[in-house]
Amino acid sequence: MRLPALFALLGTFIVAFGASTAQADDDVMKVFLNHAKVLKLDRPVAKVIVGNAAIADATVADAKTIVLTGKTYGATNIVLLDASGEAMLDERILVSIDEDNTLRLFRQTERTVFSCTPACEQNQAITASTGD
């Protein structure tokens, strides 16, 4: 195989892989830790189900507004049902940190994360030790 053909094949693979990765990211609703996200619905919701309430919390503000809050790191899902029991939404949720305003401090096996908005304060939910 000649070099130009190899580059063309590699380029095709990268484009295809990038498209599938972007599509996978679109299927996930992202919420930052300790932040709320408002979901506006086109019709009233009757039931809200969160797969793991320790990771995310959903509050019904009114019949067409749900407030989703990231409680701890991880992935879960949310299912919204209408009055007839039909699924209005069934989506994965990823709770992660807002990378823009953080500082990480590593000391041997200890990791401390500071939230810097505007002054840096230690985030207790993220401080971890990897040693025993």
What CATH code is carried by the domain that includes residue 61?
Answer: 2.60.40.1080
State whether 86 and 103 are in the same domain: no
Comparing CA positions, the residue from 93, 90, 94, 95 lying closest to residue 72 is 95
Place of tokens 């994360």: 113
pLDDT at 10: 44
Q: What is the pTM of this model?
A: 0.63
Tokens of 67: 């407030």
Structure-model confidence comparison of residues 115 and 67, the more confident one: 67
Same domain, 48 and 106: no
> In which band, very low, low, confident or very high, does the pLDDT at 25 lie, cut at 50, 70 and 90?
low
Nearest to 32 by CA among 73, 89, 90, 78: 73
Domain assignment present for residue 7? The answer is no
Q: At 19, is the pLDDT very low, low, confident or very high (cuts 50, 70, 90)?
A: very low
Are 60 and 112 found together in one domain? no
Six-digit token string for 17: 């892989």
For the cut 70, the answer to whether the pLDDT of residue 76 exceeds it is: yes
Q: Are residues 67 and 117 in the same domain?
A: no
Residue 12 has pLDDT above 80, yes or no: no
Asked if residue 106 and residue 87 are part of one domain, the reply reads no
Average pLDDT, the chain: 79
Peptide bond into 44 cis (omega under 30): no
Range of 125's domain?
99-129
Q: How far apart are CA 114 and CA 125, in angstroms?
A: 10
Q: Please indicate, yes or no, if residue 57 is contained in any of the structural domains.
A: yes
pLDDT beyond 80 at 24: no
Q: How far apart are CA 8 and CA 1, in angstroms?
A: 11
Residue 103 confidence (pLDDT) above 70: yes
- Band (pLDDT 50/70/90 cuts) for residue 111 is confident
Pair 107, 90 in one domain? no
Q: Which DSSP letter does residue 67 get?
A: E
